[in-house]
Each structure stands twice: as structure tokens, then as C-alpha cells.
Chains A and B, each alone.
Chain A
Amino acid sequence: MNPLELTLGIMTAVGGFVDISELVFAAKAGSQFGYALIWVFALATVGIIVFSEMSGRVAAVAKQPVFNLMRHRLGLKLGLLTLAASVVSTLITCAAEIGGVALILNYLTGAPYMLMAIGMTGFFVASIWVLPFKWIERTYGLLGLFMIVFAAALVAIHPPWNQFARGFVPQIPNGLSTKELLTFGYFTVAIISAVMFPYEVYFYSSGGIEEQWGPKDMFTNRLTSIIGMGLGSMLAIAILANSAQLFGPANVDPEIPGSAALQAAIPFGKWGLILALLGMFFAVAGAAIETCMANAYSIAQFFGWMWGRHKKPWEAPRFTFTWLVLLLLSLAIVLTAVDVMVLVEFAVLCSILVLPLTYLPLLLLAGDKKYMGKHVNGPFATALGWLYFAVITAAAVAALPLFILTSGGNG
């Protein structure tokens, strides 16, 4: 195990953790409910760690990515349904990320939003075309580490640390009206969805195949999942806590994604704002590429095509066409001028509905000794996996009613 590679892998996971949905929901959750939703971020982070580690293990041992094995277990009809639902939800997510990046560039440069969306899509095409997989992942992931300015801002504003710590304890705040309670419930479901997006597992497992992981990489897989995602989650929690401390008491509702950048501007001034916007730009841009590639991986793997950026674009032509078309479709959604916040809401809603069908085959595969040999799920992983499956199933059932009753979390 190369320590430099491991460190870079962990840092990439940290910088690449936050995307537009987590940014938006962390800021809104903090402003509306103070520190009371920190435990949901922590809970969902453990969930994504559990399933990412499993998907990486399956990729390393069975040498097959999740979507290949998912079709084998679900069968053709249900597999097609899962694929269609997953593609739609990830397409909306990709559109939200492209819109988010365009907005951030608009704040940074003042250039028109639509022009930035078109320009950034072209830049993403160039990135995926020119760079091999490792460079794509590392470039955006490491540059996303500018997001650390949010953690620094939290320390600088001296929040009530005892309240912050209490936020990690599962709770429902006292004295909420019925409407507020439903909104709290909606935020809980939305945060679980935003943190445990299915595209993250598809991308992570396919990335393991791209990097030719084998059983010798089990430790790397475990450390990257636990430390990388754990620390990345702390950045999202820092955004929530900053919002609780700065926006909540001032009754500021961070309606637009750029509001989060003010969290760093308040303690650090102009440079804080610039660093925050840069961090958001690279994190969200990385997420746009990840969602696009995750979708292309899913489609190519489902139909047994050649795939991967470890091959040149012309060596996996159908995969290349797929990610190109998906990026253009996502751009088309953005160019309809639909609000980025609406895209984020729908991305989160569609994803939570797909999550149970995504994670169940993975859980069963990782627990199948015939495929996994001695790397099969142990009792701890099995228990955690089933616990989280129950959590996401409950969240999926509650998502649509809560979305309707709370008008998408707006009360």
C-alpha cells in the first residue's frame, strides 16, 4: 500500500464529498432548525460509508461493478426499471450540479448564468475526454479541498460547542408545530437522500474497477471510505453549523446556493468569500462529472458494453456516446431556465425513491460467500447493512408524502 496514494485517495474523497444538494440542505437545515439535524448528517454518512465500502469490496473481489451484478440479481424487467429510475434521478442531479456550477461562476465573475452553463458543460466534456480516470477524480477532488474554509469559518465564529456536540444526538426539537414537524421530517429524509445518493456508490465501485483494485486493496478501500467520507461529512456539518449560528438567529433563509459562501465571508472577509466560492465550484463541478459518469457506467454495465476512462474514448465508443449525450441532456434541462433549487429538490426526491432497489442487491452480493469468499460481509457489516436498508426504505416510503405536505420543505 503506497502511503502517498492512500493519502491522495482520502483527500480526494474529502474534497469530493459535498455536492449541490448537501450544500443547499445543510445551509437550509441549519438556518431553520439550528444544530438539531447534525445527527442526520452523521447517520447518513455512516450509511454511505457502509455501502461504499461494500461496493468497493465487491468491485475488488468479484471484479465486477455493482450494476452488472445488480442486473444478475434483479433480472431483466426489474433491472430495467431500476436502471430507468436511476438514470432519470441521476440526470436531474447532474443538471442541478451544472446549474449550481453556473450560478457559482456567475457570483465569481458576473458572467451570464446560461453562458456559464454552456461553457462549463464544454469544459466537462473536455475534462472527461482528455483526462484519464485518476486525473479526473483527483483534480476535482483535491481542488474541492478549498471547502475546508467552511470548517475554518466555524472555528472562527466561536459557535456554542456544547450545542454543536448535542446536535450529534438523535433528537426532535421541542415545541414544533405540526407543519414544522413535517418540515423537520422532510429535511431528515432529504439529507439522508443527499448524502446517500446512488450515483456515489456506482461511481465508487466503477472507480475501483477503473483503478484495477484487487483483494490487496481492501485496506485502502476501507480507509478511503471511512476517513475520506467521514471527514468530508464534517465539511457539510460545518456548513450546517455555520448556518445555525449566522443565518438562523438573523432569520435568513439561504434560498440560493451562493448564500452558503457568506459563511466564510463573515469571519474572513473577501478572501473567505473567494475561497468558499472556489471550494463550492470545484466540489460541485466534480459532482457534475461524477453524476454524468455514474449514469454512463450504469447504462454501459447493464447492457454489457465496454466502458471506463481507463480506455481511450474511441476504445469504448458506446460508453463515450452515452456520457456525451447525458451531459448534453443535463445541459438541456438547465437551459429550460428551471430554478436550480427546484432541480435539487427533485434530484433528492427521485434518488430516495430509487435507493432501496440500489442498495438491496449490493447488500446481498456483499453477503454472498460464493462471490466474496473470505471477504464476505462479517456480522457487523451485515447488521449495519440491514439496519441502513430499513432506514432508507422507511425514508423512501415517507419521502413523497412529506414532499407534498411541506411543499418541498418550504412549510
Chain B
Amino acid sequence: MRLSDLRDKKIRTLDGEVLGRVHEVHCKAGRVIALMCGPGSFIERLTARREGRRIPWDCVRKVERDQIVVTPDPPRRKVKKTAASRSRQGTRRPSAPPSKR
């Protein structure tokens, strides 16, 4: 897989909601950790200050030819790390969507 396979791809939830297009991929320690999507504009690329919605890589279910499918209602803000979330870091959740609280 390449960066060009992810970039500009539409992000859609399992519920069918379109969240935007991928305009940035975040990496840490050599691993992809998140995608940024939203109405990423030309000006945002120019200024290298990206805003938009951050989708943790954990929420990605499938990378298809013309879209990326994620869990419904991925977190809108950066979640503060708790002991529980730290233990799940870097692991995929089971295929069933997580229960909403």
C-alpha cells in the first residue's frame, strides 16, 4: 500500500456517513496512527497547517479502491490517554463495532 492509496480517498463510516477526504496521514515511530479528513483545502496544504477531523487508525475497518471505511462515529477530538486506552494502543478492535455509550 502507498500514501497515494490513502490520500484524497473518501472516508465513509459503516453507517454510510461521509466524513470527508483524507488530506493528511499521521505517523509515529514509523507506524501510521491517524488520518486527517475534512474539507482540506488547497490553502491548508500551502500553509501546512491542517485542520479537520482526526480519525485514529484503530477506527479504520477497510481500505477499498475508492474509499476508506471506518467505524461509525469515530472520536471527534484527540482522546486523552487513560490506562485502558494505552493498553489498546496499536491493536485492532474486533470486527464488531464498539457499543456506543
Contacts and interface: CB of A to CB of B under 8 A. Distances in A.
**Contact, chains A and B (beta carbon distance below 8 A):** yes
Interface of A: 73-75, 78, 360-361, 364, 368, 370
A364 B45 contact: no
A73 B46 CA distance: 5
Interface residues of B, number: 5
A74 B46 contact: yes
A75 B8 CA distance: 13
Contacts of B47: 364
Contacts, number: 14
Contacts of A370: 48
Interface in B16-62: 42, 45-48
A364 B45 CA distance: 11
Given A73-B48, A74-B45, 7 more contacts: A73-B46, A75-B45, A360-B46, A364-B47, A364-B48, A368-B48, A370-B48
A73 B48 CA distance: 8
A74 B46 CA distance: 6
A361 B46 contact: yes
A368 B42 CA distance: 17
Contacts of A364: 46-48
Contacts of B45: 73-75
Nearest to A360: B46
A361 B48 CA distance: 11
Nearest to B48: A368
A277 to B, nearest CB: 45
Contacts of B48: 73, 364, 368, 370
A20 B47 CA distance: 36
12 contacts: A73-B46, A73-B48, A74-B45, A74-B46, A78-B42, A360-B46, A361-B46, A364-B46, A364-B47, A364-B48, A368-B48, A370-B48
Contacts of B46: 73-74, 360-361, 364
A73 to B, nearest CB: 5
Nearest to A371: B48
Closest 8 CB pairs of A and B: A73-B46, A364-B46, A364-B47, A75-B45, A361-B46, A360-B46, A368-B48, A73-B45
B88 to A, nearest CB: 32
A368 to B, nearest CB: 7
Interface in B44-97: 45-48
